[in-house]
Amino acid sequence: MTNPSFHPAYVEFESGKIGPADAATSPRYAGIATFARLPRIEEVGAADIAVVGVPFDSGVSFRPGARFGPSSVREISRLLRPYNPAGDIAPFATCQVVDAGDIPTNAFNISEAVAQIEAAADELRAGGTRLVTIGGDHTLALPMLRSVAKQHGPVAVVHFDAHLDTWDTYYGAPITHGTPFRRASEEGLIDMEASLHVGIRGPLYGKEDLRDDERLGFAIISSVEIETEGVEAAIARMRKRLGDRPIYLSVDIDVLDPAHAPGTGTPEAGGLTSRELLRMLRSFADLNVVGADVVEVAPAYDHAQMTAVAASHVAYEFISVMAANLQNGKA
């Protein structure tokens, strides 16, 4: 392990974990923009939780640009702090959290890129490390689920999104950002009795989209239902369906209303607030989250980095939840 005394950007906690320095002594805007100014994975060796970027957006169907999402989220994540009062947890002190850099992918070949993402995820997870992935477009959920399922078997997917992402093909292409959860269901990667979408809204191609989605193993908590029934009712419905299964969380930032997250490729009106989304993510602290991603941040369409701010807090809540899971002995 690298001696943190030679790295003024880092501190060593009483637990022996290395994390970001006090911003009063090391300015947030200085130095290399790792996520939350965490140490790079090669500086600490083994890690409990690793943040990894996937700068890939060749699977998008409308506005491109999510390949620049990881760098945008990392840049604004410098503002994050080490103690999370909402969960009463200091995740960087209780777990060794690192930035694992970016997974390089072939921007001209989706199938090859998906294989590269899966192989890199397998390598990063080999020692039991849990991954928080920053996209990139939602195509990356498929290789991440393939990797997670090798260890845990079919997992309960909780998918926060404006869109179902269980369509069959686009222009005959079976793997795009609109198809990952259909392929995952067909491949037996998801628990078909426990998976669900949250925040779905907007027009569909037809009623058959909903019938297909149910057949593929998903329940739906729509944005309208969250509005009329409330966040706590949505959390109760999620927990009832999930039980004690291993969980994979996938957040498309367009689950948020464009007022909160304009910087995304396929925005839809009528979405969640960032406060509602973060409250729902915090409800997983006593469950077993084995992997997570936040995707579809396209900074070219962002304003004042507000979409990247939201995504950085989503990733921070993922880390906090995973740290709480590990403290509670969730394997």
Residue 253: which of 239, 265, 269, 270 has the closest Cα?
265
pLDDT digits (tens, 9 = 90+) for 184-202: 999 999 999 999 999 999 9
Q: Containing domain of residue 306, as a range?
A: 4-327
pLDDT digits (tens, 9 = 90+) for 275-330: 999 999 999 999 999 999 999 999 999 999 999 999 999 999 999 999 999 998 87
pLDDT digits (tens, 9 = 90+) for 96-124: 999 999 999 999 999 999 999 999 999 99
CA distances from 25 to 78, 102, 254, 285 (A): 14, 28, 36, 31
Q: Which two tokens stand for residue 286?
A: 């006593």
Per-residue pLDDT for 170 more than 70? yes
Residues 6+ apart with CB under 8 A from 315: 35, 51, 73, 77, 132, 134, 292, 294
pLDDT digits (tens, 9 = 90+) for 206-219: 999 999 999 999 99
Q: What is the pLDDT of residue 116?
A: 98
Per-residue pLDDT for 265 more than 60? yes
Per-residue pLDDT for 24 more than 90? no
Residues 6+ apart with CB under 8 A from 16: none
Q: What is the pLDDT of residue 5?
A: 46
**Structural domains in the chain (count):** 1
pLDDT digits (tens, 9 = 90+) for 34-85: 999 999 999 998 899 999 999 999 999 999 999 999 999 999 999 999 999 9
Beta pairing, strands 247-252 & 289-295: parallel
pLDDT digits (tens, 9 = 90+) for 211-246: 999 999 999 999 999 999 999 999 999 999 999 999
Per-residue pLDDT for 30 more than 90? no
CA 188 to chain centre: 21
Per-residue pLDDT for 149 more than 90? yes
Tell me the residue type at 96.
Q
> The domain that contains 62 carries what CATH number?
3.40.800.10
Task: Tally helices (H) and strands (E) across the chain.
Answer: 11, 10
Residue 289: strand pairing partners = 247
Distance CA 118, CA 237 (A): 31
